[in-house]
């Protein structure tokens, strides 16, 4: 039997893993459930991702790209003439206004790094990317404080089921950003 050429198979497996985690949680993620969701042979999942951690890393990295793209699209983050607190609050609002299941999925994958050390470097990528974007605007300690605050606000919105309050976020962010020399 001739081998079927399927250059998109790896990506379909990652997309399927994301859907499985979204629908069944991380506990429902197995090579078998992903293979069924992707409609590929079980051997394909283990060929492309020898371990579940490798598959979760790929899914988390793809999820991180959503936030990174939103941050990159906001030109005001690098513009020294824009209100940094307002830009960050708007970025967070934009991200949280998307599909809630997608944001919850990203956090589930992100928090999986607590128990899976192999995921920690990729879990930190979104914060590192944002820190790099914010570095020209403020000092490194403030950058990390802003990222921690954004992360905390996201978690509160997700865990409490409350609506995102952009005005509150903007005010909280302003309190962290130094106002001058």
- Mean of pLDDT values over 61-74: 82
- Mean of pLDDT values over 56-83: 84
Give the CATH H-level superfamily of domain 64-176: Tetracycline Repressor, domain 2 (1.10.357.10)
Give the CATH H-level superfamily of domain 1-50: Homeodomain-like (1.10.10.60)
pLDDT of residue 72 exceeding 90, the answer is no
Per-residue tokens: 98: 């998307």
> Would you state the pLDDT for residue 4?
64
pLDDT digit string, tens, across residues 115-149: 888 888 888 888 899 999 999 999 999 999 999 99
The percent of residues in the chain predicted with pLDDT above 70, rounded, is 96
CB 87 within 8 A of CB 76: yes
How do the domains of the chain map onto residue ranges? Answer: 1-50, 64-176
Task: Give the CA angle between residues 23, 28, 161 to the nearest 5°.
Answer: 45
User: What pTM value is reported for the model?
Assistant: 0.81
């Amino acid at each position: 039997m001739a081998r079927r050429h399927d250059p998109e198979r790896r990506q379909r497996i990652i997309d399927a893993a994301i859907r499985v985690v979204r629908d069944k949680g991380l506990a429902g993620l197995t090579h078998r459930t992903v293979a069924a969701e992707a409609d590929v042979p079980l051997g394909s999942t283990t060929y492309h991702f020898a371990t579940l951690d490798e598959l979760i890393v790929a899914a988390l990295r793809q999820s991180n790209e959503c936030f990174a793209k939103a941050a990159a699209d906001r030109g005001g983050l690098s513009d020294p003439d824009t209100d940094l607190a307002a830009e960050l609050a708007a970025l967070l609002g934009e991200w949280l206004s998307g599909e809630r299941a997608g944001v919850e999925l990203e956090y589930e994958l992100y928090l999986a790094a607590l128990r899976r050390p192999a995921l920690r470097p990729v879990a930190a990528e979104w914060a590192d990317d944002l820190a790099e974007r914010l570095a020209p605007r403020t000092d490194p300690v403030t950058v990390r404080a802003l990222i921690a605050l954004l992360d905390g606000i996201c978690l509160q919105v997700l865990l409490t089921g409350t609506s995102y309050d952009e005005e509150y976020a903007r005010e909280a962010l302003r309190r962290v950003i130094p106002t001058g020399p």
